[in-house]
């Protein structure tokens, strides 16, 4: 929603389709034209942006008979901002090229909802060539402020799943460090300030800080709501592990992190921001 709203603020005429009636109502209230189907959303447009969660939905949205690739005109720029394995978007890219459609995988990062609202997203773009990248950037600039051409289609996703693997591990390490320091008697705010400017610095010691109250804009400070769900992080780690197995890479630490998030999810906190691992560690911490 923040991405679509920022497109309207940057003078794009935006229409959108969503399964949620409430989302469509909110979209209309923010200057976005709600439509009833992918086909309708993709008719007579210059750009299409998709952002979905599951492999099946991403493939269906693009490849079904009334999907994106069947509904747009040749030379339309289609950008998928989902997170999936490189193999999935390369399959979509092959179909798009056959139809003369410009397709780029354009996953995003930079700070989640916080960055999306501020138009400060980072886009990691897989594009056939520099010309396709520049065409996609025209639209992406309505939602973000940093853009990287990572190579051919699929490479954007390769960067994104590598990014989320790193972030997932950082969160667990940062949460353990925060709990340990506090239990040893360190003021948690002082600890965070030191970690932010030391060699342990990472976003989980800043805008993603998992301890409630440490960082006012973090999901932790709003009961771990409206952040990046634990279940989504678990899903993204699964994608990274799948890709690693495909190429024969060793990601043992990522597998342990996946198991940890799986425990948090099984305990009933899958809808909470992934920083909820702090509470999970705090509950069982003994010193």
Tally of domains in the chain: 2
Give yes or no: residues 9 and 125 share one domain.
yes
100, 125, 153 - which closes a domain: 153
Whole-number pLDDT of residue 287: 45
Give yes or no: residues 178 and 249 share one domain.
yes
Whole-number pLDDT of residue 186: 96
pLDDT > 70 fraction of the chain, expressed in percent and rounded = 99
Give yes or no: residues 215 and 176 share one domain.
yes
Give yes or no: residues 181 and 78 share one domain.
no
Give yes or no: residues 270 and 172 share one domain.
yes
Give yes or no: residues 25 and 117 share one domain.
yes
The CATH number of whichever domain residue 46 belongs to comes to: 3.40.50.720
Whether 202 has a pLDDT exceeding 70, the answer reads: yes
Give yes or no: residues 140 and 40 share one domain.
yes
Whether residue 158 contacts residue 89, with contact meaning beta carbons closer than 8 Å, is answered with no
- Predicted confidence (pLDDT) per residue in 67-111, tens digit: 999 999 999 999 999 999 999 999 999 999 999 999 999 999 887
Give yes or no: residues 217 and 119 share one domain.
no
pTM, 2 dp: 0.89
93, 119, 153 - which closes a domain: 153
Q: In the numeric block, which tokens belong to residue 24?
A: 């469509």
Give yes or no: residues 26 and 141 share one domain.
yes
pLDDT > 90 fraction of the chain, expressed in percent and rounded = 90
153, 175, 203 - which closes a domain: 153
Give yes or no: residues 15 and 144 share one domain.
yes
Whole-number pLDDT of residue 286: 57
| Residue-number span of the structural domain to which 16 is assigned | 2-153
| Catalytic positions | 160
Whole-number pLDDT of residue 147: 97
- Predicted confidence (pLDDT) per residue in 158-201, tens digit: 999 999 999 999 999 999 999 999 999 999 999 999 999 999 99
């Amino acid at each position: 929603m923040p991405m679509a709203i920022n497109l309207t603020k940057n003078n794009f005429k935006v229409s959108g389709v969503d399964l949620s009636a409430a989302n469509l109502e909110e979209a209309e209230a923010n200057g976005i034209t709600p439509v009833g189907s992918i086909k309708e959303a993709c008719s007579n447009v210059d750009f299409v942006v998709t952002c979905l969660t599951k492999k099946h939905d991403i493939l269906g949205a693009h490849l079904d008979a009334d999907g994106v690739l069947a509904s747009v005109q040749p030379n339309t720029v289609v950008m998928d901002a989902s997170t999936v394995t490189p193999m999935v978007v390369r399959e979509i890219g092959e179909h798009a090229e056959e139809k003369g459609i410009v397709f780029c995988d354009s996953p995003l990062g930079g700070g989640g909802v916080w960055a999306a609202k501020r138009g400060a997203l980072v886009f990691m773009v897989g594009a056939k060539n520099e010309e396709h990248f520049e065409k996609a950037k025209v639209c992406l600039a309505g939602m973000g402020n940093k853009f990287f051409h990572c190579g051919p289609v699929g490479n954007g996703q390769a960067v994104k799943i590598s990014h989320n693997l790193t972030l997932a591990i950082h969160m667990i390490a940062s949460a353990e460090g925060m709990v340990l320091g506090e239990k040893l008697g360190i003021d948690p705010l002082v600890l965070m300030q030191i970690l932010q400017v030391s060699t342990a610095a990472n976003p989980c010691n800043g805008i993603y800080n998992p301890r409630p109250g440490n960082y006012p804009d973090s999901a932790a400070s709003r009961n771990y709501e409206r952040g990046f769900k634990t279940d989504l992080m678990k899903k993204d780690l699964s994608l990274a592990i799948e890709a690693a197995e495909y190429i024969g890479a060793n990601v043992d630490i990522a597998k342990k992190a996946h198991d940890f998030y799986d425990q948090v999810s099984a305990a009933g906190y899958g809808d909470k921001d992934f920083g909820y691992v702090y509470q999970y560690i705090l509950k069982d911490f003994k010193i």
